């Protein structure tokens, strides 16, 4: 009985089919050149599948803008404090047709803790170093970046859907690696985990990120339907050595595209909820 239950949780048939279609070369041990494990992908994404389909009921719009096999940087808003947006975005990319594996740039914190860095590596997420992103892009992978970082993820509910300051590193990476930027907006994480406040003391004491506090008082999202909106690819000319003014101008264009997708997504929400109820 226990074995059947474990198998049901970690062996989703649709997830297995999508992983088999990934444009990734695994060796005889099921490991690719970056340390990604086919077995770990199967277990992780199978566990996420019920949350994606039935709990957060993620809907995807504009998936035709995602490159089928070539490199790209998937750039969007960050919110919700506990990473539900990142995990559901990764799930959406895998379940797309054709499927793609999301390679997120993980916080340095995770790589300082036993096993955490290795576990993230096994499902495709490398420490957020420019050289890691460069290697992935050269191998025609999709790199996911949240330019707001913790500023966006940990903002209070009173600032929901308000983009915070963007970092600029992603733009230089895109230029150096001739990578198109695919903007996206994630709608729903703000309500699924509405941050009332955050505790900074644990971060200072244990060297960990600040602890967000939501009304549900547990690190688990509320069952709020979520939507992901992808926009057309944005291609920028340059070699990454541009002056700061030009880089900031390009970043502002990406920010404006994401802001437009957020507004589009918010405007569509009542219609999306009505469709679900019907």
What are the boundaries of each domain within the chain? 56-277
The pLDDT tens digits for 88-109 are: 999 999 999 999 999 998 776 6
Chain centre distance of CA 119: 16
Report which of 137, 230, 218, 126 is spatially closest to residue 187, judged by C-alpha positions. 230
Element (H, E) at 210: none
Torsions phi, psi of 213, nearest 5? -120, 125
Predicted confidence pLDDT, tens digits, the chain (278 residues): 334 434 557 899 999 999 999 999 999 999 999 999 999 999 999 999 999 999 999 999 999 999 999 999 999 999 999 999 999 999 999 999 999 999 998 776 666 666 777 899 999 998 888 899 999 999 999 999 999 999 999 999 999 999 999 999 999 999 999 999 999 999 999 999 999 998 887 777 767 778 899 999 899 999 999 999 999 999 999 999 999 999 999 999 999 999 999 999 999 986 554 444 33
pTM beyond 0.85:
yes
Neighbour-count burial for 183-221, b at 16+ CB within 10 Å, e otherwise: bbbbbbbbbbbbbeebeeeeeeeeeebbbbbbeeeeeeb
End-to-end CA distance of the chain: 36
Q: Please list, in sequence order, all residues whose beta carbon lies within 8 angstroms of the beta carbon of residue 178, skipping any fewer than 6 positions away.
A: 71
**Token couple for 130:** 């420019």
Q: Which CATH class is domain 56-277?
A: alpha beta
Burial class (CB within 10 angstroms; exposed 0-12, middle 13-18, buried 19+) of 18: buried
């Amino acid at each position: 009985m226990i074995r059947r239950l474990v198998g049901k949780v970690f062996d989703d048939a649709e997830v297995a089919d999508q992983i088999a279609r990934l444009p990734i070369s695994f060796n005889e041990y099921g490991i690719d050149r970056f340390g990604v494990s086919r077995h770990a992908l199967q277990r992780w994404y199978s566990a996420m599948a019920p949350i994606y389909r039935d709990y957060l009921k993620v809907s995807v719009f504009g998936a035709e803008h995602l490159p089928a096999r070539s490199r790209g940087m998937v750039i969007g808003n960050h919110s919700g404090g506990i990473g539900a947006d990142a995990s559901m975005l990764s799930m959406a990319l895998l379940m797309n047709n054709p499927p793609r594996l999301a390679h997120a740039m993980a916080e340095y914190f995770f790589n300082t803790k036993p096993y955490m860095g290795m576990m993230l590596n096994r499902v495709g997420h490398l420490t957020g170093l420019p050289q890691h992103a460069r290697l992935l892009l050269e191998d025609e992978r999709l790199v996911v970046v949240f330019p707001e970082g913790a500023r966006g993820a940990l903002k209070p509910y009173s600032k929901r859907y308000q983009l915070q300051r963007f970092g600029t590193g992603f733009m230089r990476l895109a230029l150096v690696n001739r990578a198109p930027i695919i903007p996206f907006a994630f709608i729903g994480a703000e309500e699924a985990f509405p941050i009332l406040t955050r505790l900074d003391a644990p971060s200072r004491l244990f060297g960990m990120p600040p602890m967000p506090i939501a009304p549900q008082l547990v690190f688990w999202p509320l069952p709020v339907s979520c939507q992901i909106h992808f926009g057309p690819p944005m291609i920028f000319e340059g070699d990454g050595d541009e002056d700061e003014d030009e880089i900031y101008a390009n970043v502002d264009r990406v920010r404006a595209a994401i802001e437009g997708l957020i507004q589009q997504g918010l405007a569509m929400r009542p219609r999306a909820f009505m469709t679900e109820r019907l």
